[in-house]
Amino acid sequence: MITNPGGGGSNLWTYILGGNLHLSVTMTFLSTLAAFAMMPFWTMTLGRLIFAEGHIVVPYRNIATLAGGLVIPLMVGLLIRRLFPRVADCLAKALKPLAGIFICVIVVFGIYANLYMLQLLDTMVLLSATCLVLLGYAFGGMAAALMRQSWPDALTIAVETGIQNTGIAIFILRVTLEQPEADINTVVPVAVAIMTPVPLFILWVLQKCVLSRFGICVVKNAEEKICPVACIEEGHQQHNSASVEKLLPNNNDMPVNWQFSTLNNVTTVQPKIRIDEIRGRRVAIFDKEHKRQQALIPRLEKIEVIYDGLNDEKITLIMNKGVSTPYNCAQHINEQLLKRSVVAEVNGEIWDMHRPIPTDCTLKLLHMKPEDLHQATLVNKAFWRSCSFLLGAVVEGAFQDEISVCLHSFPPANVRSGSFVYDIQLNLNDWVPSQNDLRQIAASFQKFVRQDHIFQRLDVDSSVALKMFEDNAFKTEQIPHIATKSSTGRSITVYRVGDHIDISRGPMIASSSLVGRCSIAAIHKLNSKLYRFQGVALPSEIHINHFAFGILESRARKLNPARTPELKSNS
């Protein structure tokens, strides 16, 4: 592989088949760089035995073009993702059909351009080419399996091992040998080029058509799945897939409900109210209370906000008391500050970016890389806390309506634990989540955070909170206890993200889009009904390589040491 790197074809097939595209591009790039040294090494050793009388030309220009063809598009893509995330999302949706069209064009035109060589093909050449391709895929796949790689990574390694850039081989043969020997010897790499996509196409057909009919979930990429809705047993009654699909909520703010592959033979304990109905009622109460509080402001009063920036920068802003927020202040300063700010510091107190400022103050806007250690700790806790909140939002809407999902609570943010957590009750017996289940939840999480939902804070009376969460027995138990610890003895702080509302003291980050790469690392069963969902995530402005993130994932799989909640409610 390192004397003949795979090129862009391996990257396209990896994406179409649902492999690890980051790993694919990395392997292609490294093998391309290695080819500069390995190809001359091959020509001076094995190559001299094969071409004893020819002068072998190493196509350095072709290899350099291949390397540039990888690096330049990657840089352009990273710039688009960084500067125009919405455009990047639109382009990502169009990538798969374009990749399919591109592969078809390559195959059709490749066969047409070498049509005269098809006359030289015989059964032995085709059989040899097929065996070479299959052995490449098999060797890469078995090596990855021995290293205990995940299915997407193993698939990627197999594709990268099996796909070779036959164009380089053809080039070497044509410039090394005289005619007609050049054409005769070129028949073999042409045959390999023809047979290379055949096993991959068969695998794609299996994923798309065959496996789905048997209810087997196949992970595609970070945002798209082939996951058929299979039968769920409720007591002793079975529902077919069509009847289950009718129960799926259609909510534009949240990802669609997934039917997890490991739930096919898991029994449910009791039915539940549709989650979209519950959320709709909570949002109505939230909006009504927010409007009521806004109406209590008799007239706008002005306050003086002194922004304390870098290098002792001081900016005085005249804002509206009880209405203007740190986010509004950042809008008056500069756009870069607005995009980077995660939380604020108002008179030394950590403050939500969208929480109104009640009085004259000194304002600091904090990002994910503060130099002050104390500020860094507070920002990290806010990020971790927000991820737990978002995890609850995603999991609450991730299951079919037959499965009752009751959010219990998430422990205080503890970055050193290695994972953010939400403890959730499911009315399931004997559910053991698979890796596919974890990936589906992670994909829903990633899709939700990309919708750029703001964290909207509202302090309400405990009676309003009880009405808002009357369907959740855990929250109704927690609300009176939480209220007694507030400054008024009756206040509860709730946050709204999209159409999801939950209880938290806060503060939270400004927007869900500040969450970057994430993974749902584990789901631990705490007792007969309670499950601990654990994840790990990075801020959107922090990027690390695949290996380093894998270390974080491994750490996050361990059971989080946070206290296990006691179940007092039979909900």
Interval 315-327 mean pLDDT: 94
- Phi first, then psi: give them for residue 520, nearest 5 degrees: -90, 105
In angstroms, rounded to a whole number, what is the distance separating the alpha carbons of residues 283 and 42?
Answer: 67
Interval 166-192 mean pLDDT: 65
Least confident of 30-44, 412-426, 542-556: 30-44
How far is C-alpha 554 from the geometric centre of its chain's CA atoms? Answer: 17
Quickly state the pLDDT bin for 81 (edges 50, 70, 90): low
* Structure token pair of residue 414: 């503890």
**Highest mean pLDDT (candidates 78-87, 175-184, 206-215):** 78-87
How far is C-alpha 550 from the geometric centre of its chain's CA atoms? Answer: 14
Instruction: Check residue 105 and give its pLDDT.
Output: 76
Least confident of 46-55, 144-153, 285-294: 46-55
In angstroms, rounded to a whole number, what is the distance separating the alpha carbons of residues 535 and 389?
Answer: 12
Quickly state the pLDDT bin for 47 (edges 50, 70, 90): low
Run of H or E including 430: none
Instruction: Check residue 222 and give its pLDDT.
Output: 38
Quickly state the pLDDT bin for 69 (edges 50, 70, 90): low
Quickly state the pLDDT bin for 254 (edges 50, 70, 90): very low
| Better pLDDT: 97 or 361 | 361
**Average pLDDT across the chain, whole number:** 78
Quickly state the pLDDT bin for 491 (edges 50, 70, 90): very high
What are 261-285's pLDDT values in tens digits?
A: 555 545 444 444 578 889 999 999 9
Residue 422 confidence (pLDDT) above 80: yes
Least confident of 236-240, 298-302, 421-425, 529-533: 236-240
Positive or negative: CA dihedral 388, 252, 443, 92 = negative
Instruction: Check residue 24 and give its pLDDT.
Output: 80
Domain ranges of the chain: 8-214, 299-375, 381-557
Rounded to 10 deg, the angle between the 181-195 and 123-146 helix axes is 50
The CATH homologous superfamily of the domain defined by 381-557: Threonyl-trna Synthetase; Chain A, domain 2 (3.30.980.10)
Residue 18 confidence (pLDDT) above 50: yes
Residue 368 makes CB contacts below 8 A (sequence gap 6+) with 340, 342, 379, 383, 514, 539, 541, 542
Residue 240 confidence (pLDDT) above 50: no
Listing from the earlier edge strand, what are the strands of the sheet with 343-346?
Answer: 314-320, 302-308, 361-366, 343-346, 349-351
Residue 253 confidence (pLDDT) above 60: no
Residue 289 confidence (pLDDT) above 90: yes
3 state DSSP class of 271: coil
Least confident of 201-210, 293-302, 373-382: 201-210
CA angle 559, 564, 569 (to 5 degrees): 135
In angstroms, rounded to a whole number, what is the distance separating the alpha carbons of residues 186 and 180?
Answer: 10
Whole-model pTM over 0.95 = no
- C-beta separation of 59 from 173 below 8 A: no
Residue 303 confidence (pLDDT) above 90: yes
Residue 91 confidence (pLDDT) above 90: no
Least confident of 114-123, 415-424, 478-487: 114-123
| Better pLDDT: 324 or 137 | 324
- C-beta separation of 210 from 101 below 8 A: no
Tokens 């920036």 correspond to what residue?
309
* CATH number of the 8-214 domain: 1.20.1530.20
Interval 317-339 mean pLDDT: 93
Least confident of 174-183, 247-256, 266-275, 358-367: 247-256
Which of 246, 210, 241, 247 has its CA nearest to residue 228?
A: 241
CATH architecture label of 299-375: Roll (3.10)
- Express as a percent the part of the chain with pLDDT over 70: 70
Interval 513-522 mean pLDDT: 95
Which of 2, 225, 23, 1 has its CA nearest to residue 11?
A: 23
| Better pLDDT: 234 or 269 | 269
Residue type at 498 in one-letter notation: G
Which of 131, 139, 169 has its CA nearest to residue 157?
A: 139
- C-beta separation of 262 from 482 below 8 A: no
Quickly state the pLDDT bin for 196 (edges 50, 70, 90): confident
